[in-house]
Chain A
Amino acid sequence: MNTAFRNQNFQLLSGNHAVAIGAKLANPDVSPVYPITPQTPILEKMIELQSQGELETEIITPESEHSALAASISASLTGARVFTATSSQGLLLMHELLHYAVGARSSIVMFNVNRTVASPWGFWPDQLDSLAQRDTGWIQLYSETPQESLDTVIQAFAIAESARLPVMINHDAFYVSHAVEPVEVPDQSVVDDFLSPFQPPIKLDPEIGRSFGAPIAQQTWNESRRDLAEVMSGIGELVTSTGRQWDEMTGRRNHGMLESYRLEDAEVVIATMGSMCGTVRDAVDSLRNQGVAAGLLKVRLFRPLPAAALREILAEMQCVIVLDRNYSAGTGGILHQELKGVLYGLDSTPKIHGLLAGVGGTSVSSEKIQQLVTSYKDAAFSLEPVWVE
């Protein structure tokens, strides 16, 4: 073991256990949770820590994810710090309340493990579950590794409680949720210094006497969404500054909205999210060795979409290859759709190829990505998404 590893508190953790430890370090007051594969290790680890007295939180074990989120919303509105976790069908069952959580301006941090959506049944990495919630107003972050998941959970509390908006962090089923890696666990004192106490100005409290969610007229409803839009417009900056502060305190890197890897002089950029980024890094290194100027654009913040930052980076490129581990029937890959929208109206736009790669959890190797780059970097633009075999 090298010196750096000895000097820091490295533990071998699965992605899900890293999430649970990150959540524990943030000391949530209330944690409503419902089991679902492959999220369950998060729930079990939280309850194990609680039962051992290492975590003081009110665990609520309701009959469904729907009730877990219902309890999360109302708990958050009392001024409690709230954490929950889910995946796939559970996230879909929450859909009604995902909207509700945003309108109610709750500050929940939820971890979602990206898993295929039935039917047919499957338990594999696929990001359609969370991407299908893109219009609910949750801040969405995508994590590549167990370390990033731990770090992001802690940052998410700062973001959610500052913006008074719920944050959903996502990592891929099994590739991240169950893969075990050395993870540096920060000291409790670092997290305590980083996170301010959650003290919302308005909360559900008899001493304050304010009600939440009463029916309102059209104009006021309209204004509630304008308020939301104003908050959303500052989230990119909030995510950036929060990530920078965390990085300064921990010596880590790359907790911004986007991460560029070897993009400086790249002719072709591969844009993707989640665990696929790791494989793309390897492919980029190999392509560079072969003389192909390739780079990675990792989208960490998906909602709100950092449109200006994406546009600035992508406008410089000749070719963009989007790898989507999701399939929105009738359109194609969702990141592809979003990036096409971002590029509209530029004087000269790069070619952009939408590749459906790894949908349903199929393996996409570094070699495969290298082949795709070779095939598509000079190919004509195609309106239709392409299925990668």
Chain B
Amino acid sequence: MEQINYTDQGRFCSGHVACGGCAEAVALRVILNIVGPNAVAVVAPSCTAVICGAWPGSSVKIPVFHTTLESCAASASGVKRALVKQGKDDTLVLGLAGDGGTYDIGLQALSSAAERNEDILYICFDNEGYMNTGGQKSSSTPLNAATGSTPTGKATRKKNIIDILAAHRIPYIATASPSDINDMAAKLKKAISLRGTKFLSILIPCLPGWGIADDSAVKVARLAVDSGAFPLFEIEDGVRVSMKPRDNPLPVAPYLKLQKRYLHLTDADLEEIQANVDSDWQRIQQRADQS
């Protein structure tokens, strides 16, 4: 196991209202540590908006503009362009949204910002559903996962947001996980060093939404990564893919069996999910090999 290389800069405050044990708080802490003080965050309604806190408090030591659910990328574009025009080109503008605000209602604005290659860092906290409203399916919800709006399991697969963004040929796309803090920090640093639209998708196992133990978020995230259910990889300019080769891949079953949303899975369901994970992995690995 690698040692976490991390010195907290105190930019994420205690007293925030994330669920006890939520991995998004871990991710936010790392993000704020890396981006430093010269940043503005645009936050769509989401768990992130709640964690940032209600007026007059704030758990994050950068200014936050709370925007509407579908507008994160557009609002972030407005902030960045306005700061540039006022000579504050060095201020980093973050867009922070959940998967509902990214895969679903915010996709139109995100696609447009990516097409314009706006100089923003957009981070999606992907907990695979509308967890802040009590756990309904989004287009990020995986096949067969039970949610409030898919009580018998979702009939369709998770939308491939990464390939959609890669098709925009933006400078940088990466996936990250709270189980791999050094990797997340390195990807954030790389994203910040580049101009244009950067997109980071961070897996956030949702304690109530996925039905997992309060102390298991990081463990579940690690199983998602190690089984290949959530591969960690990067895409530069929409084409150059890099991913570490997988030495001893775990099966997906131990990852799924920790989650109540998959309690109803049959053996056949498990086999189908395993086959999907394997083929997705191979497809990414082939692209990495060709890059």
- Taking Cβ atoms with an 8 Å cutoff, the residues of A that contact B are 29-30, 32, 56-58, 60-64, 66-68, 70-80, 82, 96-97, 100, 204-206, 208-217, 220
Given known contacts A70-B109, A204-B63, A60 and B54 CB-to-CB distance under 8 angstroms: no
Task: Scan residues 3-30 of chain B and give those whose CB is less than 8 A from a CB of chain A.
Answer: none
| Chain B residues with CB under 8 A of A74 | 42, 65, 67, 75-76, 78-79, 82
* Cβ contact within 8 Å between A75 and B53: no
B123 located at the interface, meaning its Cβ lies under 8 Å from any Cβ of chain A in the complex: no
List 6 A–B pairs whose Cβ atoms lie within 8 Å, in order of A's numbering. Answer: A62-B116, A205-B63, A211-B63, A215-B66, A216-B54, A220-B55
8 shortest interchain CB distances as A-B pairs: A71-B78, A67-B74, A213-B66, A63-B112, A70-B71, A80-B82, A75-B82, A74-B78
Complex interface: stretch among B83-91, B160-168, B177-185, B192-200: B83-91
Task: Scan residues 36-75 of chain B and give those whose CB is less than 8 A from a CB of chain A.
Answer: 37-40, 42, 49-50, 52-55, 58, 61-68, 70-71, 73-75
| Chain A residues with CB under 8 A of B86 | 29, 78-80
- Distance (whole angstroms) from the CB of B270 to the closest CB of chain A: 40
B81 located at the interface, meaning its Cβ lies under 8 Å from any Cβ of chain A in the complex: yes
* Cβ contact within 8 Å between A71 and B67: no
B77 located at the interface, meaning its Cβ lies under 8 Å from any Cβ of chain A in the complex: yes
| Chain A residues with CB under 8 A of B39 | 206
* Cβ contact within 8 Å between A97 and B71: yes
The CA-CA distance from A79 to B40 in the complex, in Å, is 14
B111 located at the interface, meaning its Cβ lies under 8 Å from any Cβ of chain A in the complex: yes
B117 located at the interface, meaning its Cβ lies under 8 Å from any Cβ of chain A in the complex: no
* Cβ contact within 8 Å between A72 and B62: no
| Chain B residues with CB under 8 A of A204 | 40, 63, 65, 79
| Chain B residues with CB under 8 A of A62 | 74, 77, 109, 112-113, 116
Return the chain B residue nearest A209 by Cβ. B63
| Chain A residues with CB under 8 A of B71 | 66-67, 70, 97
Return the chain A residue nearest B41 by Cβ. A211
* Cβ contact within 8 Å between B82 and A78: yes
* Cβ contact within 8 Å between A206 and B37: yes
Given known contacts A66-B71, A78-B83, A212 and B111 CB-to-CB distance under 8 angstroms: no
Task: Scan residues 182-235 of chain B and give those whose CB is less than 8 A from a CB of chain A.
Answer: none
* Cβ contact within 8 Å between B78 and A210: no
14 extra A-B contacts, CB within 8 A, seeds A74-B79, A205-B40, A211-B63: A29-B85, A60-B77, A63-B108, A66-B71, A71-B81, A78-B82, A80-B86, A97-B71, A206-B39, A211-B52, A212-B63, A214-B49, A215-B55, A216-B55
| Chain A residues with CB under 8 A of B49 | 214-215
- Distance (whole angstroms) from the CB of A247 to the closest CB of chain B: 31
The CA-CA distance from A212 to B75 in the complex, in Å, is 12
- Size category of the B interface is 35 or more
- Distance (whole angstroms) from the CB of A301 to the closest CB of chain B: 28
* Cβ contact within 8 Å between A60 and B78: yes
The CA-CA distance from A284 to B38 in the complex, in Å, is 62
The CA-CA distance from A204 to B79 in the complex, in Å, is 8
The CA-CA distance from A257 to B37 in the complex, in Å, is 46
| Chain B residues with CB under 8 A of A82 | 82
Return the chain A residue nearest B57 by Cβ. A214
Given known contacts A66-B71, A67-B108, A206 and B62 CB-to-CB distance under 8 angstroms: yes
- Distance (whole angstroms) from the CB of B260 to the closest CB of chain A: 29
From B65, B78, B85, B113, contact of A72 by CB (8 A): B78
The CA-CA distance from A70 to B65 in the complex, in Å, is 11
A32, A64, A73, A217 interface centre (most CB from chain B within 10 Å) = A73
- Distance (whole angstroms) from the CB of B164 to the closest CB of chain A: 14
The CA-CA distance from A67 to B83 in the complex, in Å, is 18
| Chain A residues with CB under 8 A of B116 | 60-62
- Distance (whole angstroms) from the CB of A92 to the closest CB of chain B: 15
The CA-CA distance from A74 to B70 in the complex, in Å, is 14
| Chain B residues with CB under 8 A of A58 | 81-82, 84-85
| Chain B residues with CB under 8 A of A208 | 63
Return the chain A residue nearest B36 by Cβ. A206
The CA-CA distance from A210 to B58 in the complex, in Å, is 9
| Chain A residues with CB under 8 A of B40 | 204-206
Return the chain A residue nearest B118 by Cβ. A60
* Cβ contact within 8 Å between B81 and A214: no
Return the chain B residue nearest A56 by Cβ. B85
Given known contacts A67-B112, A214-B52, A206 and B63 CB-to-CB distance under 8 angstroms: yes
The CA-CA distance from A154 to B282 in the complex, in Å, is 60
Return the chain A residue nearest B90 by Cβ. A206
Given known contacts A78-B86, A211-B63, A70 and B75 CB-to-CB distance under 8 angstroms: yes
The CA-CA distance from A383 to B75 in the complex, in Å, is 46
| Chain A residues with CB under 8 A of B113 | 62
Return the chain B residue nearest A104 by Cβ. B65
